[in-house]
Amino acid sequence: MSLMSMTDHDAKDALDLQRCSFFFDLDGTLAELQPRPEQVFIPSATLLALARFQAEGIPVAVVSGRQLQDIDRLLAPLQLPAAGVHGAERRHGDGQISRLAIDPQVFQEIQEALIAACRNYPGAYLENKGMAFALHYRQAPDLQEPLRALAEDFVNRHADHLMLQPGKCVYELKPRGASKGEAIKAFMQELPFLGRQPVFLGDDLTDEAGFKVVNQCGGLSIKIGSGETEACQRLDSVADVSKWLTGLLVLLDERPLSFSYKK
Ligand SMILES: O=P(O)(O)OC[C@H]1O[C@H](O[C@H]2O[C@H](CO)[C@@H](O)[C@H](O)[C@H]2O)[C@H](O)[C@@H](O)[C@@H]1O
């Protein structure tokens, strides 16, 4: 782990944009955390930078715990390759979507049981992602321990289908096999990501699997904020991510023009 802090100048000096592909976590990286998931937004400077990357043919993907439809809503009108639900669903570079196979009946039963169990915890917020569930306690910190116990109980009883994914003020029940590391690895085997140096920015425990994969590929892993991490570099905040991206755009603008005017 490196505690080195990186300025936008250092970052752009270190990267050859024409050889990189970029992977971004969403909450806590592209967007500030908010009291509730539906209050989140991505700053316009960040959206503009991502759109510019896409327009320049620099591969960019979002790798999030959110569902693809939610990622698309937050980036609209931009639509990027993306992994949702911690890698359980993925829109590839060619637009095709693949999902981990789940048993809808099992998930329906789990959903009904979770809704019933959450009635005992009025301050908790149950986010239903169809193939995964998030038990949020940001509005009720006292519920951390009871919700951890509840999540562990469900995961233990449905170990063939679910895995526990702790996060920031949340315990998530994600489909077994869902991993941001596996999602990034899969992107790296496909165009337009194939053969490029991966760069991954993330802030939370779910991102650590991605950092490991990116490190193994000789890429650049960047942790946002404090805390133990496998990432090799660090930025302090979501605002710094936005500034870092804007700094990279300067590199694009400095690139020599590849065409000439007719005389
Ligand atoms: O992988 P990410 O893109 O970072 O998504 C992780 C989870 O983010 C959301 O929850 C977190 O952000 C909320 C809004 O800022 C916050 O209120 C909550 O406490 C955080 O845990 C989202 O709701 C989850 O579905 C994502 O898995």
Which residue type sits at 126? L
Same domain, 203 and 113: no
Q: What is the pLDDT of residue 255?
A: 67
Same domain, 170 and 187: no
Ligand 1: which of 24, 32, 46, 170 to mutate, judged by most atoms within 8 Å of the beta carbon? 170
Q: Spell 57-87 as b/e; 16+ CB within 10 A means b.
A: ebbbbbbbbbbbebbbebbeebebbbbbbbb
* Residue 164: CATH number of its domain: 3.30.70.1020
pLDDT, one tens digit for every residue, the chain (263 residues): 333 444 444 554 568 888 999 999 999 999 999 999 999 999 999 999 999 999 999 999 999 999 999 999 999 999 999 999 999 999 999 999 999 988 999 999 999 999 999 999 999 999 999 899 999 999 999 999 999 999 999 999 999 999 999 999 999 999 999 999 999 999 999 999 999 999 999 999 999 999 999 999 999 999 999 999 999 999 999 999 999 999 999 888 886 544 445 54
Q: Determine the structural domain holding residue 150 and report its residue range.
A: 104-175
| Residue nearest atom 26 of ligand 1, based on CA coordinates | 65
Tokens representing 22? 């970029």
Q: How many CA atoms lie within 13 A of 171 on its CB side?
A: 21
Q: Phi and psi dihedrals of 67, rounded to 5? A: -75, 155
* Residue 210: CATH number of its domain: 3.40.50.1000
Q: How far, in Å, is the centroid of ligand 1 from the Cα of 32?
A: 10
Taking alpha carbons only, the member of 16, 69, 26, 17 closest to residue 47 is 26
Q: What is the pLDDT of residue 252?
A: 84
Ligand 1: which of 24, 27, 171 to mutate, judged by most atoms within 8 Å of the beta carbon? 27
The answer to whether residue 64 is domain-embedded is: yes
The answer to whether residue 1 is domain-embedded is: no
Q: How far, in Å, is the centroid of ligand 1 from the Cα of 82?
A: 16
- Please tell me the total count of domains within the chain: 2
Query: Ligand 1 atom closest to Cα of 62?
Result: 3
Biggest alpha carbon distance in the chain?
A: 77
Q: What is the pLDDT of residue 102?
A: 87
Which active-site residues does the annotation give? 25
Q: How far is residue 140's CA from residue 169's CA, in Å, rounded to a whole number?
A: 9
Rg of the chain over CA atoms, in angstroms? 19
Q: What is the pLDDT of residue 160?
A: 94
